[in-house]
Amino acid sequence: MFARYPIHLLTLTGAVLLASCGGDDNNTPFNIRPDFIQGTLTAVEYDGVSDDLLTAGLGVSGLQGAAPAYADAQHPTAAELRRKAIYSNYRALLDTTTEGGFGRLYGPNIYRGEVQAHGGKIAGKEYVFLTDSGDGVQRNVTVAVQIPASFDPHNACLVVGASSGSRGVYGAIGTSAEWGLNNGCAVALTDKGTGNGAHDLDSDTVILADGTLASATAAGTASHFTASDAGLDDFSATYPARVAYKHAHSGANPEKDWGLFVLQAAQAAMYVLNLPENFGRENDAGKNLQVLRRNNTLVIAASVSNGGGASLRAAELDSSGLIDAVVVSEPNVQPAQALAAGYSVQQGSYQWNQLGRSLYDYTSLLSVLQPCASVGADAAAVGSGSVARCHALQSAGLISGANDAELAAAAQQQLRDYGLVPEQDFTQHANNTIKVPQSIAVTYANAYGRFGVSDNLCDFSMAFGPLAPTSATTTQLADLFASGNGIPPTGGIVLIDNKTGSEDRAASADQNLAGHLCLRDLASGANAADQTKAQRVAAGIAEVSADPRKLNVPTVIVHGRADAIIPLNHSSRPYFAINQSQGSKANADLRYVEVLNAHHLDLLNGLFPGYKTRYVGLHYYFGQALDQMYAHLRNGSPLPGNQVVATTPRADAADLLTTENLPAMQTADNVSSDCRIQLTGKTLTIPAGCGNPVL
């Protein structure tokens, strides 16, 4: 039904539409099951001791320890997979070291800054099920609705957490769910149509919603993702031992529906909350009535990275008023290019006049230039530069210089001119080392252009490695739901250059420059060998464009300035500026907070000494923003002002990060003039340092 009706007719849980369907004598609407929910809804109860909603029984200490093991590595149970998936997702997003603040300043045992006796273990019940948009394309979005035992129907709240990156349904467990469950809110988690849906083509094995495996034939429509390209057999014969992934190869461009899937998760959660076994009730005729509704339940869309972008898109789409507020951190949000035109950013002595470039545009450029720009990087930056890439770029006429240092500087300058701020330089080196831009470029080129795995786009594929395609073992496949993140390199799966049959970076001395120039050409279009493919990618990018003018609920965006994965000049900064230009009260309720010495991947702070003494965890401020938003919604407390927050990293890696390192976000009246973010005309002025030096 969702392909046929506009979004304002989709909110079947809205009181107005449901009331029109009838109710009891007091006009309480019926609790009608949304058509997009698939299968039977069954709850699993967690006692908060042996197992729980938030940490799967691990608690703070378990999350800091070794990965939980399986009794049988080839056949882990659904409960074991859930436990490890929660463990993996927590540790992939946060710095889980005590020194960095885990368990002391933030974490599953923290409620409004105070350590709780429950140790992160929260009792309650959880429903996991699939939803579908019903447009004929297999989506099978996984949703988990968690209801803590502390949920108070007289003070009802719901946090909707879309997964970050391409992660599975527990991809927001350590961010949105952590805050929501500790505040007694129900939580609706969604993988937003990406998720860890892998299809091993050799064995024809797919993953089910609970993480267990099945053959594609046996799974049928219950498969999280099954590749269905017309040319799949020929491709597999030519390129054996390959893997198709949902985000890249579903042919659905799931990002265009991220906002819809967040709304669906919220609607599904409201339905679940109103089941008679929870907080709904039955009338005399035995009809299920909807007691919790949008007029008596606070709904906050909150998440980070891709989940943050999905939350903003959901609020833009939500004409029914289901969502009351949005809180996001480092959102992957791509304002429409036409809306961003004419805006500029002034940050100290730097000025950028081209804002709001698409994720694929700047990431495909990073995948080409960053291996060279990382040459000679400080060892603490975990650089993995390629002198051969620099020389190949010079031979292609793309950079110039008299020596390797000048070539690296030329590559870096191009990135600066493209809108990447100087504070991102250090973190770009690590991102290149762990192959972030390369993997994003391959995944999103396929997704935006709706290419299947058999299209062999730019001669890239995915396979178990490490250095050449290897047939997956049963143990590797069995663990993929729990250890994978939906985008290679993950769970042993790597990018493969099909021209050579080798892992992407090992394919040639210049780290497969030809493959990445092909991806770059799909972004620019000017030199693309196949203009049709470039046009398909461009069409997909247009489908995911955001419109900040449509945001009309209280919102806080928090972003770390050193973020080299989602650069501020192409995401949060132009989104904020476009929104603020509208001048209405609704637009005045969007607040933007930029945090110095913070970046995109907090986990790196706990891994590398060079990070421990340069950065603080942005997650701390995401939680603080949620605290302030909740107080605003409940009692009218002021939201934070538009500001730069000047943090102070630890002097020594062994030191404990404390609140002295992490100044609180200030309300508008208390933001000092040297920290205030301001929009004048179409120029957004960002304070360079705000009192503290930027590392």
Enzyme catalytic residues:
305
How far apart, in whole angstroms, are the C-alpha atoms of residue 575 and residue 336?
A: 9
How far apart, in whole angstroms, are the C-alpha atoms of residue 285 and residue 278?
A: 19
The helix/strand/coil state of 298 is: strand
How far apart, in whole angstroms, are the C-alpha atoms of residue 307 and residue 672?
A: 31
Q: At what angle do helices 513-524 and 387-395 cross, to 10 degrees?
A: 50
How far apart, in whole angstroms, are the C-alpha atoms of residue 94 and residue 102?
A: 8
**Could you tell me the sign of the dihedral formed by the alpha carbons of 38, 39, 40, 46, in that order?**
negative
* Kind and range of the H or E run holding 288: strand 288-289
Nearest to 227 by CA among 469, 459, 454: 454
Question: Are 283 and 228 contacting, i.e. CB atoms less than 8 angstroms apart?
Answer: no
The token pair that represents 40 in the structure block:
């039977």
Question: Are 579 and 592 contacting, i.e. CB atoms less than 8 angstroms apart?
Answer: no
The token pair that represents 257 in the structure block:
């529906």
Nearest to 212 by CA among 306, 335, 23, 79: 79
Which residue carries 């993953």 as its tokens?
207
Nearest to 481 by CA among 493, 499, 470, 468: 493
| Neighbouring C-alpha atoms within 13 Å toward the C-beta of 640 | 31
Which residue carries 């930027």 as its tokens?
694
Which residue type sits at 404? Answer: D
Question: Are 100 and 605 contacting, i.e. CB atoms less than 8 angstroms apart?
Answer: yes
Question: Are 452 and 229 contacting, i.e. CB atoms less than 8 angstroms apart?
Answer: yes
Helices H, strands E: what count in the chain?
A: 22, 26
The token pair that represents 320 in the structure block:
């029914």
Which residue carries 């609607």 as its tokens?
267
